[in-house]
Structure 1
Amino acid sequence: MRHRRGIRSRAARGPPVLPGAPQGEGHPPIMNVRRSAAVLAATVVIGTATPAVAASPSPSPSLPSGLYGSSDPTYDGVWRQSLALIALYRAHAQPAPAAVDWLAEQQCANGAFPAFRANPAKACDAKLMVDTNSTAVAAQALSVVGGHGGAVTKAVAWLKSVQNKDGGWGFAPGGASDANSTSVVIGALITQHTPVSTIRNGAKSPYDALLKLSLRCAEGGAFAYQPDKKGKLRANADATAAAVVAALGTNFVTARADTGEETTCADTPDRTPERAAANGASFLAGAVAKDGYLKSVLPGAEDQPDYGNTADAVVALAVQGGTGAARGPLAWLERNSAKWAAQSGPAGYAQLILAAEAGGADPGDFGGTDLVKELTATGPEPVTTASQEDSGTSVWWMIGAGLAAGAGIGFLLSSRNKRKRP
């Protein structure tokens, strides 16, 4: 569905898109650590839905002991921590309690999360910037670690309270809806029992917002991030990967390979989310067919691989078309991503784990790299007992699996029955 994309650290992914900015001028990725400077331009006043102008960020904070990664967490602390916890859950590994506690303590009293707050003991105030992406990814992470159901419910309630009239969400409450933000919020909504299609602001649901950003097959079948300044939709691979996963009723926690649905593009009168997802997957399949990877959208980098977006595309292709559809780009990542992941840190390793899990690869031996070991090495020492090592299964994972099943995985299973969305 950042930096990135930590997974490149947020900055590694390229220039962020400011809420309301046309997609052709840069874009924030969903599964990536996307939003570095976007947080500066998309300041949100707690309890309101109107973006404000942010002041300059404070000096780089000292790193908390429970945080994954060694880079400045000002713009991606919650994002990379959440992805790390989700990836460890997916790989059946147990994080240190301090890592879970750090994330939980970032939440504000109203349920929202900022990208990072250095002093959790201090109540959130009107100067603190909160955003939909940090809140939504944190909700997904806390839904599987156990004991944080109340925090997840509060986060989702806040997200519902700032839903736009078109059914979607922007990075900042009150900002124009974009495909990436809407998709990651759908991922958070899936943690609840209420069908996503019934969560509306007036007549529009989150799926209506995504469909509004989907292109016809003559234009490639992709999703746009947002309309450009002239109102035109332009294909955006990152937004497409995020939207395919969300349109099929899955999220970071539940995205797994399907038995194999079509990845061909076809325009139909009803324009269902399932149809738009298939069209989007068709676009992604074509984009990676030649080289095995998605190319960077940065100016002057036409031939430069975008590792984070390629990992996202693997997940989307697997969820729609099965492991066969994801095989090419997944194999490319296995051969080429080690150096990128090492430079990117926890979010990068997490993204690759999610791609491996969805695409049918072994995150413990991904092109010769143990992604789980490398990820845990970036944070507090994980808690693992000898019995857990012998069994290969973490008690934490089993508990989380049960909680996740009650909070949304049933939606994933039902979607396998001809894509019945939550």
Structure 2
Amino acid sequence: MNLRRLAVAVPLVATGALGLASAPAPAATPAASPGPAEGLFGTQDPTYDGVWRQSLSLVALDAAGRKLPVKAVDWLVGQQCADGSFAPYRAKPAADCGPKDQVDTNQTGAAIQAFAAIGGHRAEAEKALSWLKSAQNKDGGWGYTAGSPSDANSTSVVLGALRALGVKPADVTKGGKSAEDALLSLALKCDAKQSPGKAGSAFAFQPEKNGTLVANADATAAAVTAGYGAGFVVAAPHEERGGSVACATPRTAREAARNGAVWLGGVLGENGAVTTALPGAKPKPDPGNTADTAVALAAAGMPEEARKAVDWLRSEGPAWAGKTGPAAWSQLILAAHATGADPADFVGRDLPAKLAATGPGGKTVAGETVRAKDSGTSDSSDSSGKDEKKKDDGGGSSPWWFVGVGLAAGAGIGFLLSSRNKKNAAR
């Protein structure tokens, strides 16, 4: 999931340089920015990605073992609608949600993963989960907004939310189909043309109008991470899980994820970066997609390839994050975490400190940090695992659940609701 997505209230489409499909018209950019809100990470206009970047920031800080700003937690809680859903940003959170508050599955799924990381927000998480269940499509997946066609990125974000709460995907179905069934339906066949991957088989974001599936790097990274039972946070693999690199017709989302991981390994350039291109522009290395790919490869037990991607991010990532903001710093933290690198010493930079500096100051509270023994390796039918409890130094309530391997960190996803839709708009 591309954690750099910019959330807008229209169905999202594929975002990599691969398999570009026609994109729907994006929502109009507001004439004036609502301005930074107290408690929000970053000073950029939050209209399209406020809840996403807030959730990602809280999860990334927690994954790095840092305390969370109370104001930031309160800001996220205050954004929730009465039915449990989340819009990207509500300038007046005290008011009831209305038609203009374009709620979506990505913001809501990311917020659930953040609540799981924070701990102590059972009611909010359950309401959000209830809304997501109501928005599930008959193919078992989710689109960006309720009722829109299922896509790999949105379905993966929701899978991360389910696993964050210890909910088995097979227990959440529509028409007899689960989210993993939806992901499997978006996996390309082994004999499909899907350059530049040298082996394996990719995922599509959504079917084209004619029903064909076109390989997409962003969607593949999201689906691989979710297919291996992980959410935004992936624990560094301790050993190469290996297995055949031959592409085989998948029977499960996990098997399709293996094909996808092998394909992603072939997408990495010699320098370790994923290269993308917008129409009319020259291809160039993409830090956001590279970070997502590193997380996906780590989840799939391909640490050598994952570290190759992170090594490239060491040189190019900090400058990119400095320009992009909190979601980008979060992506770097999650990529480092997934490969066993120290986020606090990333080529001399303390990434969590950089991220924290973009957020509110004041009182902090310890979250519910995931320390899954085998994140990304467990079978999806048993994705729960116990983690460490941190003591609350800020008067907050004690964590109410033990989160599983799918706990959000990064996705989110996905994904990053930052530049994915900017790419879509340019397609």
TM over 0.5: yes
Give secondary structure in 2 for the equivalent of 1:351: helix
Greater relative CO (CA pairs within 8 A, separation 6+): 2
Separation in 2 of the partners of 1:327 and 1:77? Answer: 30
Q: C-alpha deviations, 1:16-47, integer Å up to 9, x for none?
A: 8952757744699xxxxxx9x85x2xxxxxxx
Residue 307 (structure 1) aligns with:
287
Mark the runs of 5 or more structure 2 residues left unpaired by the alignment: 195-200, 366-388, 409-427
Shift of 1:215: 1.1
Residue 404 (structure 2) aligns with:
408
Separation in 1 of the partners of 2:22 and 2:321? Answer: 21
2:190 equivalent among 217, 239, 252: 217
Relative to structure 1, the CA distance from residue 269 to residue 318 in structure 2 (aligned partners, 3 Å threshold; closer, same or farther) is closer
Residue 62 (structure 1) aligns with:
35
Residue 417 (structure 2) aligns with:
none
Residue 257 (structure 2) aligns with:
277
Shift of 1:115: 0.6
Shift of 1:394: 6.7
Give secondary structure in 1 for the equivalent of 2:164: coil
Residue 221 (structure 2) aligns with:
241
* Kept in 1: contact 2:180–2:227 (CA 8 A): yes
Give the aligned residue type for 1:183: S
* Kept in 1: contact 2:188–2:203 (CA 8 A): yes
Shift of 1:252: 1.1
Shift of 1:279: 0.7
Q: Does 1:369 align with 2:369?
A: no
Shift of 1:174: 0.5
Residue 126 (structure 2) aligns with:
153
**Scaled by the length of structure 1, what TM-score is found?**
0.81
Q: C-alpha deviations, 1:52-79, integer Å up to 9, x for none?
A: xxx7746311211200001100000001
Separation in 2 of the partners of 1:113 and 1:211? Answer: 27
1:124 equivalent among 78, 81, 97: 97
1:108-257 aligned within 5 A: 108-219=81-192, 220=194, 221-257=201-237
Separation in 2 of the partners of 1:404 and 1:382? Answer: 25
Residue 95 (structure 1) aligns with:
68
Give secondary structure in 1 for the equivalent of 2:403: helix
Separation in 2 of the partners of 1:27 and 1:315? Answer: 28
Residue 4 (structure 2) aligns with:
4
Identify, as 1 or 2, the structure richer in helix: 1
Give the aligned residue type for 2:253: P
Residue 342 (structure 1) aligns with:
322
Q: C-alpha deviations, 1:185-215, integer Å up to 9, x for none?
A: 1011112333112211011110110011001
Q: C-alpha deviations, 1:238-295, integer Å up to 9, x for none?
A: 0000001111111013554363223754444552222111111111100114231111
* Kept in 2: contact 1:222–1:235 (CA 8 A): yes
2:337 equivalent among 357, 379, 391: 357
RMSD: 3.0
Relative to structure 1, the CA distance from residue 264 to residue 27 in structure 2 (aligned partners, 3 Å threshold; closer, same or farther) is farther
2:11 equivalent among 19, 26, 29: 19
Q: C-alpha deviations, 1:362-399, integer Å up to 9, x for none?
A: 101112221111101101116469xxxxxxx9745999
Which moves more between the two structures, 213-222 or 197-206? 213-222
Relative to structure 1, the CA distance from residue 253 to residue 3 in structure 2 (aligned partners, 3 Å threshold; closer, same or farther) is closer
Mark the runs of 5 or more structure 1 residues left unpaired by the alignment: 29-34, 41-54, 386-392, 413-422
**Scaled by the length of structure 2, what TM-score is found?**
0.80
Shift of 1:335: 1.6
Separation in 2 of the partners of 1:289 and 1:397? Answer: 45
1:24-43 aligned within 5 A: 24-25=19-20, 38=26, 40=27
Residue 385 (structure 2) aligns with:
none
* Kept in 1: contact 2:204–2:215 (CA 8 A): yes
Which moves more between the two structures, 248-257 or 75-84? 248-257
1:330 equivalent among 302, 306, 310: 310
* Kept in 2: contact 1:356–1:362 (CA 8 A): yes
2:277 equivalent among 297, 304, 329: 297
* Kept in 1: contact 2:189–2:249 (CA 8 A): no
1:84 equivalent among 48, 51, 57: 57
